[in-house]
């Protein structure tokens, strides 16, 4: 304050949309009672899902870590209240697919007992890496809707000095007013959190950008800055235009610098954070409280008492709606997020997660239902409104023809899916759906290519292995055969047993030849012995002749 | 006259040497076209194309011995990519080789498995784990869905099941398909 008014810039395209914010922005934030059952998904952020640390039946306390971060792009998950883990199972999660994913289900005990505080600290005493670590341990993610782990954005690397910390209080999407109420009621928390973020980034200035349709928030923030008497903080009032709240668009409006295609804000020396994220960071260091609750706008003509509520993460949407007076007779569709970028939720048993900024219960005719698309007439209205300076009709043609190379040549991945092109399309083409289809198809192709590479490596290794085994077998066989051959040669020459037998045979033969076959016991007989033999022979002869006569008689 | 012949002769010899040297120095190992074709093929290694795996098929295409429309797992997108790469006309998939199916993976019914190792020998990417007379199982992440393990199983305990879809692999449907489904 006291500075020259900030010189603002303009981004390409954009739309003036009916705001519909007064429906919910009139009443103060109400804290919702703790629900009987909390359904806490393990993946509430961009990146790898957290890893469960608790078992079924285990008691947990409020703020206790129940799932730890897995890998770098991941943050832990905490119990939103005290109670008992009753199940760890697949449950519906807020996702456009309507699919289920692993969740920890906690039955609360109503006592809301907090776990021992390990997070609170005076941030000025900590170095940036310790700040980042605590912010990570507290499970802080971007609360604007994308859910990117905040600690990563606080680590832009030494080669990219950060001049500006930009707090994105634009909240440009119709119906949503949670950031507005937060900045009005808890401006000191937002500024306090921003100071911590600024310290972690070592940024030279902090700019809080707020659209000009939130005068109360702007005043509250200015008061809070004056109270803290910090000089390098500034509130910048920006014109209301959708989608100013887009990170790249806001940076262009505030700094005039354009974030390069496929680049990051850090490339132009800016880091963007949501005021909700800043307030959550403040609570980590001031109260030692991890991210277990958030402010949600519950709005639309389909809900009886629209407003902003502070909800514990994991509260089923049905409980939130019930606390806001329940559905009206007009209620038709439940959306998570705003009318431009939100998606339909099929079942209100789905829990509120860290990135749920708005529950929009659309009444009859409140949001136009998708109309039957007509052929593109190449009017170019979409080109005029595209805030990313893309050619939406070209993207449409190529996505329609499933030409995924061409669609990338036209910078599909710079599309922020704001929905401006589809909003103005006179042919009611569901353009954003085509882009989302093309994006997920391309990611899928990339995954398949990676899998194919692995399969090729494995197949090639298998062929190599089979070849090697064949060679090894052949080598073994050869070795065996060689061994056998040498063994045979040795036998004839030296086998002692066979040689002994042979020698004995030869000796016997030689003896036979020299001594004839005479029995040995008839050699060297005495006279008496010779006489006895002669007598015996005489007796045998007589007996033989008498036997012969007897047989003749018979 | 003689100078001209001499000069041309020397030039010819020099260029000959240069060409000979570059032929050795910049020699390309393998067939680069076959490598590019192989990179497009889905690496299922199923053999439905009539060749013993993706690389032999790629080499056959490069040598002009096979058509580009013999790979059912690659589907229409694969044929289109091959047609683009080789500058040939797109042809619809040859039905003789099978039809394009949603990707499946093999699952062994472990209660029925007798541990014969026949499927392990059939698997082209070593995605089945087990030993003789011990239960076998498929490593889900490595299975290419080639179905080569199904016929050898003597107790018919291998089933092909569709991939489990979760939030991370979910794809937005094409609005065109949604419109036709509504009609």
* Start-to-end C-alpha separation, chain B: 86
Q: Are residues B58 and B87 in the same domain?
A: yes
Mean pLDDT of A470-497: 81
A455 → closest Cβ in B144, B170, B173: B144
Q: Measure in Å the smallest separation between the Cα of B26 and chain A Cα atoms.
A: 26
Phi, psi of B138, deg, nearest 5? -95, 130
Per-residue pLDDT tens digits for A147-185: 999 999 998 887 888 889 999 999 999 999 999 999 999
The model's confidence at residue A41, banded by pLDDT at 50, 70 and 90, is very high
Give the percent of chain A with pLDDT over 70: 95
Phi first, then psi: give them for residue B175, nearest 5 degrees.
-55, -30
| A461 neighbourhood in chain B, CB within 8 Å | 126
Q: What is the ipTM of this complex?
A: 0.83
pLDDT, position B32: 84
Cα–Cα separations (whole angstroms), residue A258 to A7, A9, A248, A266, A431 = 15, 11, 7, 11, 25
Q: State yes or no: pLDDT of A132 exceeds 60.
A: yes
Domain identity same for B81 and B119: no
Q: Is residue B46 a part of any domain in this protein?
A: yes
Closest by Cβ to A452, choosing from B42, B175, B178: B42
In a domain, B14, yes or no: no
Residue A29 has pLDDT above 50, yes or no: yes
Tokens 């389909």, located at residue: A302
Over residues B38-54, mean pLDDT: 90
- CATH number for the domain that contains residue B63: 1.10.15.40
User: What is the domain range of residue B142?
Assistant: 102-167
Statement to judge: residues B148 and B92 lie in one domain: no
**Above 70 in pLDDT, residue A216?**
yes
**Contact assessment for residue A121 and residue A134, using Cβ atoms and an 8 Å cutoff:** yes
Judge whether B109 lies within some domain.
yes
Q: How confident is the model at residue B183 (pLDDT cuts 50, 70, 90)?
A: low
Choice between B35 and A524, residue whose per-residue pLDDT is larger: B35
Residue A339 to residue A341: CA distance in whole angstroms: 6
Rounded mean pLDDT of A183-200?
Answer: 93
Tell me whether residues A99 and B169 touch, CB distance under 8 A: no
The pTM assigned to this predicted structure is: 0.80
What's residue A2's pLDDT? 41
Confidence (pLDDT) at A554? 43
Q: When comparing pLDDT for A499 and A420, which is higher?
A: A420
The reply to whether B71 and B122 lie within a common domain is no
Tell me, yes or no, whether B78 and B108 share the same domain.
no
Residue A513 has pLDDT above 70, yes or no: yes
What is the tally of helices (H) and strands (E) in chain B? 6, 4
Residues in chain B within 8 Å Cβ distance of A462: 124-126
Report the DSSP pairing between strands A307-312 and B104-108.
Answer: unpaired
Beta-strand (E) ranges in A64-202? 65-68, 77-78, 83-92, 100-108, 164-169
- If pLDDT is split at 50, 70 and 90, which confidence band does A492 have? low
Same domain, B41 and B65: yes
**Given a cut of 60, is residue A51 above it in pLDDT?**
yes
Q: What is the 3-state secondary structure (H, E, C) of A436-466?
A: HHHHHHHHHHHHHHHHHHHHHHHHHHHHHHH
- Residue A377's alpha-carbon distances to A194, A382, A389, A415, B82, in angstroms, are 47, 11, 20, 21, 33
Q: Between A543 and A315, where is the model more confident? A: A315
Residue B43 lies in a domain: yes
- Which region among A174-178, A221-225, B72-76 has the lowest average model confidence (pLDDT)? B72-76
At A532, the pLDDT band (50, 70, 90 cuts) reads confident
Nearest to residue A110, comparing CAs of A138, A82, A88, A134? A82
Residue B145 has pLDDT above 70, yes or no: yes
Q: How far does A392 lie from chain B, in Å, by closest CA?
A: 15
- Write down all domains in chain A, each with its CATH number in brackets: 22-33+116-363 (3.40.50.11540), 372-483 (1.10.1060)
The C-alpha atoms of residue A350 and residue A93 are separated, in whole angstroms, by 5
The reply to whether B57 and B80 lie within a common domain is yes
Q: Is residue B183 part of a domain?
A: no
**Cα A337 to the center of its chain, rounded Å:** 22
Per-residue pLDDT, A490:
58
Cis before A243 (ω within 30): yes
Answer yes or no: are the C-beta atoms of A164 and A253 closer than 8 Å: no
Mean of the pLDDT values across residues B74-96? 88
> For position A548, what pLDDT does the model report?
56
Query: Under a CB-based contact definition with an 8 Å cutoff, are residues A423 and A49 in contact?
Result: no
Based on the structure, what is the number of domains in chain B? Answer: 2
Please state the rounded mean pLDDT for residues A58-77: 93
CB A288 within 8 A of CB A45: no
A344 in Cβ contact with A369 (< 8 Å) = no
Q: Taking residues A255-263, what's their average pLDDT?
A: 90
Average pLDDT, chain A: 89
Least confident among A208-222, A308-322, B167-181? B167-181
**DSSP annotation of B68:** S
The closest CB to that of A433, out of B42, B170, B172, belongs to: B172
Residue B177 lies in a domain: no
Model confidence at B28: pLDDT above 90? no
* Model confidence band, residue A543 (pLDDT cutoffs 50, 70, 90): confident
Q: Do A454 and B142 touch (CB under 8 A)?
A: yes
Residue A203, classified by CB atoms within 10 Å of its CB into exposed (0-12), middle (13-18) or buried (19+), is buried
Substitution target in B38, B175, B183 with the highest count of A β-carbons within 10 Å is B175
CA atoms within 13 A on the CB side of A242: 22
The CATH number of whichever domain residue B120 belongs to comes to 3.30.70.20
Q: In what order do the strands lie in the sheet with A51-52?
A: A51-52, A65-68, A77-78
* pLDDT at B182 (0 to 100): 65
Pairing of strands A77-78, A65-68: antiparallel
B27 band by pLDDT with thresholds 50, 70 and 90: confident
């Amino acid at each position: 304050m006291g500075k020259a008014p900030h010189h603002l810039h303009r981004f390409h395209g954009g739309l003036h949309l009916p705001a519909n914010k007064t429906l919910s922005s009139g009443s103060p934030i109400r804290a919702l009672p703790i629900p009987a059952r909390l359904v806490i998904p393990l993946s509430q952020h961009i990146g790898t899902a957290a890893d469960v640390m608790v078992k079924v039946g285990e008691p947990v306390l409020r703020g206790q870590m129940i799932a730890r971060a897995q890998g770098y792009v991941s943050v832990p998950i905490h119990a939103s209240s005290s109670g008992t883990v009753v199940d760890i199972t697949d449950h519906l999660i807020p996702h456009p697919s309507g699919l289920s994913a692993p969740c920890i289900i906690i039955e609360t005990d109503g006592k809301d007992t907090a776990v021992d505080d390990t997070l609170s600290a005076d941030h000025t005493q900590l170095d940036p890496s310790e700040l980042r670590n605590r912010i990570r341990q507290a499970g802080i993610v971007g609360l604007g809707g994308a859910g990117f782990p905040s600690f990563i954005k606080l680590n832009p690397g030494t080669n990219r000095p950060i001049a500006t910390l930009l707090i994105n209080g634009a909240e440009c999407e119709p119906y949503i007013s949670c950031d507005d109420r937060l900045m009005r009621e808890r401006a000191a928390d937002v500024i306090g959190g921003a100071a911590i973020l600024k310290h972690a980034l070592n940024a030279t200035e902090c700019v809080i950008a707020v659209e000009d349709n939130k005068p109360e928030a702007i005043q509250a923030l200015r008061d809070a800055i004056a109270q803290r008497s910090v000089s390098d903080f500034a509130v910048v009032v920006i014109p209301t235009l959708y989608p100013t709240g887009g990170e790249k668009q806001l940076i262009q409006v505030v700094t005039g610098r354009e974030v390069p295609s496929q680049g990051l804000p850090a490339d132009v020396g800016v880091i963007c954070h949501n005021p909700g994220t800043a307030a959550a960071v403040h609570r980590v260091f001031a109260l030692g409280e991890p991210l277990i609750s958030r402010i949600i706008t519950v709005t639309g003509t389909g809900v009886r008492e629209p407003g902003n509520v502070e909800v514990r993460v994991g509260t089923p949407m049905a409980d939130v709606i019930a606390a806001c007076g329940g559905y009206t007779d007009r209620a038709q569709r439940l959306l998570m997020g705003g009318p431009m970028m939100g998606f339909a939720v099929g079942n209100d048993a789905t829990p509120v997660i860290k990135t749920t900024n708005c529950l929009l219960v659309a009444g009859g005719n409140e949001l136009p239902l998708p109309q039957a698309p007509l052929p593109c007439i190449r009017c170019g209205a979409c080109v005029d409104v595209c805030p990313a300076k893309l050619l939406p009709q070209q993207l449409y043609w190529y996505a329609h023809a499933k030409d995924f190379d061409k669609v990338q040549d036209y910078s599909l991945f710079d599309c922020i899916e704001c929905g401006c092109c589809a909003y103005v399309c006179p042919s009611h083409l569901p353009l954003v759906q085509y882009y989302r289809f093309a994006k997920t198809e391309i990611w899928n192709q990339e995954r398949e290519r990676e899998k194919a590479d692995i399969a090729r490596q494995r197949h090639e290794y298998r062929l190599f292995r089979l070849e090697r085994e064949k060679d090894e077998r052949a080598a073994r066989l050869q070795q065996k055969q060689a061994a056998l051959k040498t063994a045979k040669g040795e036998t004839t020459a030296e086998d002692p047993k066979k040689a002994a037998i042979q020698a004995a045979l030869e000796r016997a033969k030689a003896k036979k030849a020299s001594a004839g076959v005479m029995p040995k016991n008839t050699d060297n007989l005495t006279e008496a012995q010779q006489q006895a033999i002669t007598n015996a022979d005489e007796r045998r002869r007589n007996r033989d002749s008498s036997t012969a006569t007897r047989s003749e008689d018979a | 006259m003689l100078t001209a012949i001499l000069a041309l002769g020397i030039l010819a010899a020099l260029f000959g040497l240069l060409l000979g040297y570059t032929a050795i120095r910049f020699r390309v190992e393998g067939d680069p076209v076959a490598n590019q074709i192989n990179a497009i093929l889905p690496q299922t290694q199923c053999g439905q194309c009539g060749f013993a795996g993706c690389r032999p098929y790629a080499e056959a295409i490069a040598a002009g011995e096979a058509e580009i429309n013999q790979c059912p797992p690659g589907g229409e997108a694969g044929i289109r990519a091959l047609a683009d790469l080789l500058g040939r006309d797109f042809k619809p998939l040859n039905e003789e080789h099978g039809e394009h199916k949603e990707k499946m993976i093999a699952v062994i019914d472990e209660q029925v498995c007798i541990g014969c190792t026949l499927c392990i020998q059939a698997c082209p990417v070593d995605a089945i784990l087990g030993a003789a007379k011990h239960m076998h199982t498929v490593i889900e992440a490595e299975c290419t869905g080639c179905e080569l393990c199904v016929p050898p199983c003597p107790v018919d305990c291998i089933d092909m099941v569709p991939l489990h879809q979760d939030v991370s692999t979910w794809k937005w449907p094409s609005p065109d398909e949604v419109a036709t489904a509504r009609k």
